[in-house]
Structure 1
Amino acid sequence: MKIALAQLNPTIGDLKNNAQQILKAAQQVTSQGVKLLLTPELSLCGYPPRDLLLNAHFITEMEQTLYQLARDLSPNLHVLVGLATANPDAIVTGGKPLFNSIALLAAGKVQKIFHKRLLPTYDVFDENRYFAPGSEPNWFVLDGIKIGVTVCEDLWNDEDYWGKRSYLANPIAELAELDIDLSINLSASPYSVGKQQVRSAILKHAATKYDRAVLYVNQIGANDDLIFDGCSLGFDRSGELVCRGTSFDRDLIIIEFDEVAKDLKPAKIQPQSDCTDAEIWAALVLGVRDYIHKCGFQKVILGLSGGIDSALVAAIAAEALGAENVLGVLMPSTYSSSHSVTDAIAVAANLGIETQTIPIGDLMQGFDRTLESQFKGTEFGLAEENIQSRIRGTLLMSMSNKFGYLLLSTGNKSEMAVGYCTLYGDMNGGLAVIADVPKMRVFSICKWLNREREIIPINIIIKPPSAELKPGQIDQDSLPPYEILDAILEAIVCEHQSIEQIVDRGFDPQIVTKITRLVKLAEFKRRQAPPGLKITDRAFGTGWRMPIASALR
């Protein structure tokens, strides 16, 4: 029996076009003798739909779209489609009003509905807000083959792999006890660095532990801050990889299940990069492209400072949208070094993007005159420095409003963590492209970009980072070297370690205390930041839920 895995890129809420994607994939595989088509979790509405699920009309329309899709499909093809369905017992039981479901479509009808068993509530996930968990193992028989159905998190609860259980149920184990022939998992698993290797290991473990072949199909694309990398997988009963889909792109994989051996036959295995910088680059390019297009924009604007962060963002934008759709604006002040301008022009030339220059010296003097009486008798400090950033932010937002370009914010994760960014200044924007990329990784990606030809000018990479808000300023005037800062931030943000624990690892107590304090104080800034693309396990986005006002050290 031939089975197809469709890596789809749904737009959240676009039921009609998402259904068309499924239908198109179905039409492609029908002529190749495929009997079963797998699509990702919530493939009809897109993942994560979040509070769109609170709209009763949306749920009704989703059901209507599903039934229409069933009628449009070839009667000889079975298709598994992800959607949200109503929970008829919610009023009686007081449970959640919906299920995260998979519908089996065939012969013009909805043949069966399966419900996701395990509902994640950690990090970016909040499924318990909307869904009731399914209570029964999910399976069906097709051409004499007993196929077990799981949805994303249902696969991630094996105590032998993790050393613990996060939920009482283990859907994979329950299906094995029912003597299924093939296990399938329909997923919308967000990308983070290293996630592909973890998924592969979990699937291999499930195949070998239960002596069952397993197929896994994943969504691709980006929805707001989340990036989905596809990389659908198949493992045979012995745990050997038999198919792998493309990373960060649509794909349609066809594989055959041997009914006699009850195993999968080898099929297409797409190559996978072993370079972390290349992987992150692909994720960010996809994230920018989808965010811009799904929000209805065509072009972007950003400030080009001559620094490494804006250079990397410009490169990502040019790759994602085409150089003709990227505008870089230079806004030199009296404190800007000559190389800031020449480096910005050089990176723009390498990328082929348009630039415009707006000197802000006169505007700075105007602010100084206007605030002279209010600031009289005080020393030059942060307030004056930040005026420059806010002038630039205002100019960029004005051009964004005037011409309909989306403004890209260029701050990195290290700056966002410690608050080295200006509210209503360089934090302005509709998307923070590298807000989850630590500074040392920014350097690493830029060096990787230059592996064949110079894209990021060498001077940008080797010069000391500086905001250039006062004469001779460099970041390390007030911060430790970035390799030290990033290591401390990793311990604070990702590993949730205390000051004492971090100091025990050999870091200076005063520096650790200072950085910990800065992370806490910057929370009110991060709350007002544009959405940032998530590429690590712990980003300052929907999964970061720290209070602004708190007394915890």
Structure 2
Amino acid sequence: MASLNILMAQINTLVGDFEGNTDKVVACVQRAVQSHPSPVVVFPELTLSGYPPEDLLLRPSIELRVAQSLARLCAELPAEAWAIVGYPRTRDDGLYNVAGVIHGGEIVAEYSKQSLPNYQVFDEKRYFKPGSLPCVIDIEGVQVGLSVCEDIWEPGPTLATARAGAQLLINLNSSPYHRGKRGERWQLVAARATEAGIPIVYVNQVGGQDELVFDGGSFAVTAGGDIAAAAPNFEEGDFWLQYDSDHAQAPFSGLQVYPPLEEIEAVWRALVLGVRDYVNKNRFQGVVLGLSGGVDSALTLAVAVDALGPERVEAVMMPFRYTSQMSVEDAAEQSDILGVSHKVISIEPIYEAFMASLEEEFAGTEVDTTEENLQARCRGVLLMSISNKKGYLVLTTGNKSEMAVGYSTLYGDMAGGFDVLKDVPKTLVFDLCRYRNTLGPCIPQRVIDRPPSAELAPDQKDEDSLPPYEVLDQILEMYIERDMSAEAIIATGMDRQQVQKVLRLVDINEYKRRQAPIGVRITKRGFGRDRRYPITSGWRIGD
């Protein structure tokens, strides 16, 4: 009988921090040898550089930094441990995405990733050359094959590893979250295991990196495709399982299967983790946001408090003549419930000062959206000034539906460093508010119940300018996330005029989105890295 004590090291790395990431690897392996003999400690893809390192991989010093980290690992890791670590490796013919095995003070095997993703948020063909050969190594009497992330999404690398004699496949990942991703992974890896007749251990990183959130959820699958062990999502930690080669049908033990999270909880935890890591990894003292009394800013405040604690969050209500008393009261109530610093700063005198300065320029013109946008820009100036003075990050509050159709003001409500709801459709905003209230009092009910309004004009409602959000979000999901044409969307039963209007708004507002802050990605097609359209274009997709 041959058996292995495997530690799935579900760690949170920092891109570019070779020293800090190496420290984490050393500490984890040292913990492992204290509790299990000859442990196999498996880390995520590109652990040493963090993922995705993007154009840091093009820096001339990348080879030196990797070499220094590997030298430390060979010198400092306990000799009896087997550490499987991801890193970029420079060879004579180019750069490779590598999984290396360190044991006894040396690198005893290296595998180069074969399948390089170049879609959605991935650009690996920009940086890496593909490997071509399987890698199988004897670890404590078990023939262990290696693969890296995308290799598992195609049948070839897994089949080749099994044919090379592997009894067990270990797959290193930096797989970002989107809604429904855990189920997709389970189904896919189970299919690979049954095709190749080989059990698979899938290790994924956890943490936020700019707009991406990595949700962990490392797991093991039997050769028959059964999920035998699964770590929790969105939690950093050491997760042990045992592999026994004599039990072909049930080779894994020692770790329960943590059940998948309900989708709404998974989205919530992704938002919280994304905000926490963006703020902390960029060393902001805290965050500040405009709390309008509306549903978007209410949800943003709730996420911020859950991510950072109330002592690091400041909410600013900036009323104007069109701001309802209800909004003022609801903002104050939520701030009191959550225990955050709450300030009220009227924009009336600032607005009047701007209008006085613009009096000559505006002479003979009618009041229009210019004056509405000026209100938003007054608020943006106040928030950015607080940010500069206190070292706080400004959280903007626009949702995906608004970002899609340009229902936002450049240098106004779009002014800031991070948009928590950038990839959250408006209908999901309401669902998330209701979910958060099930965890404890948070968002006043009438904030959720009242019709959405920017309150930039008397009796203004969002639906004065836009289709109902239930309709709008369906159109946007088909157009943005599924790339359906106008005619295909209309064929589903949608009103032709509404579809044409919405698609035109999406097309002409690319220039706004290009200037928007980044935000947490929770769908398969977020704005930014996922969706890259030209600003200047004669081709209107929505026509």
TM bucket, shorter chain: over 0.9
Cα offset for 1:418?
0.3
Q: Does residue 1:29 correspond to 2:69, yes or no?
A: no
Q: Does residue 1:487 correspond to 2:490, yes or no?
A: no
Residue in structure 1 matching 2:72, options 68, 74, 83: 68
Partner residue of 2:151? 154
Q: Does residue 1:446 correspond to 2:436, yes or no?
A: no
Partner residue of 1:326? 313
* 1:323-378 per-position Cα deviation (integer Å, ceiling 9, x unaligned): 01000001000111111111111111111111111001111122222212211121
Partner residue of 2:234? 248
Cα offset for 1:272?
3.1
Rounded to whole Å, the distance in 2 between the matches of 1:138 and 1:179 is: 10
Contact kept? 2:15, 2:50, Cα under 8 Å: yes
Partner residue of 1:429? 416
Q: Does residue 1:294 correspond to 2:291, yes or no?
A: no
Cα offset for 1:270?
5.0
Rounded to whole Å, the distance in 1 between the matches of 2:282 and 2:11 is: 18
- Range that drifts further, 326-335 or 371-380: 371-380
Contact kept? 1:304, 1:329, Cα under 8 Å: yes
Secondary structure of 1:56 counterpart: coil
Partner residue of 1:198? 184
* Percent identity (aligned): 43
Cα offset for 1:259?
2.7
Contact kept? 2:220, 2:252, Cα under 8 Å: no
Contact kept? 1:439, 1:486, Cα under 8 Å: yes
Partner residue of 2:387? 400
Q: Does residue 1:349 correspond to 2:346, yes or no?
A: no
Rounded to whole Å, the distance in 2 between the matches of 1:227 and 1:137 is: 29
Give the residue type in structure 1 aligned to 2:353: G
Q: How does 1:188-337 map to 2 (within 5 A)?
A: 188-262=174-248, 264-337=251-324
Q: Does residue 1:526 correspond to 2:508, yes or no?
A: no
Q: How does 1:486-525 map to 2 (within 5 A)?
A: 486-525=473-512
Cα offset for 1:273?
4.5
- The root-mean-square deviation of aligned C-alpha atoms, in Å, is 1.2
Residue in structure 2 matching 1:547, options 518, 528, 534: 534
- Range that drifts further, 116-125 or 50-59: 50-59
Contact kept? 2:44, 2:203, Cα under 8 Å: yes
Secondary structure of 2:229 counterpart: strand
Q: How does 1:136-147 map to 2 (within 5 A)?
A: 136-147=133-144
Q: Does residue 1:114 correspond to 2:111, yes or no?
A: yes
Contact kept? 1:87, 1:132, Cα under 8 Å: no
Secondary structure of 2:61 counterpart: helix
Residue in structure 1 matching 2:62, options 33, 58, 62: 58
Contact kept? 1:255, 1:264, Cα under 8 Å: no
Give the residue type in structure 2 aligned to 1:98: L
Structure 1: any 5+ residue segments left out of the alignment?
A: 90-96, 159-169
Give the residue type in structure 2 aligned to 1:11: L
- Range that drifts further, 387-396 or 363-372: 363-372
Aligned length: 535
Rounded to whole Å, the distance in 1 between the matches of 2:39 and 2:91 is: 30
Give the residue type in structure 2 aligned to 1:134: G
Q: Does residue 1:105 correspond to 2:108, yes or no?
A: no
Cα offset for 1:230?
0.3
Give the residue type in structure 1 aligned to 2:124: E
Contact kept? 2:316, 2:343, Cα under 8 Å: yes
Rounded to whole Å, the distance in 1 between the matches of 2:38 and 2:357 is: 72
Contact kept? 1:245, 1:252, Cα under 8 Å: no
Give the residue type in structure 1 aligned to 2:231: G
Q: 1:14 to 1:342 in 2, by over 3 A?
A: same
Contact kept? 1:80, 1:103, Cα under 8 Å: yes
Contact kept? 2:228, 2:257, Cα under 8 Å: no
Structure 2: any 5+ residue segments left out of the alignment?
A: none
Secondary structure of 1:450 counterpart: helix
Contact kept? 1:532, 1:541, Cα under 8 Å: no
Residue in structure 1 matching 2:348, options 328, 348, 361: 361
Secondary structure of 2:191 counterpart: helix
Partner residue of 2:461? 474
Partner residue of 1:134? 131
Rounded to whole Å, the distance in 1 between the matches of 2:460 and 2:507 is: 24
Secondary structure of 2:288 counterpart: strand
TM-score, length-scaled by structure 2: 0.97
Q: Does residue 1:15 correspond to 2:1, yes or no?
A: no
TM-score, length-scaled by structure 1: 0.95
Cα offset for 1:267?
2.4
Cα offset for 1:27?
1.1
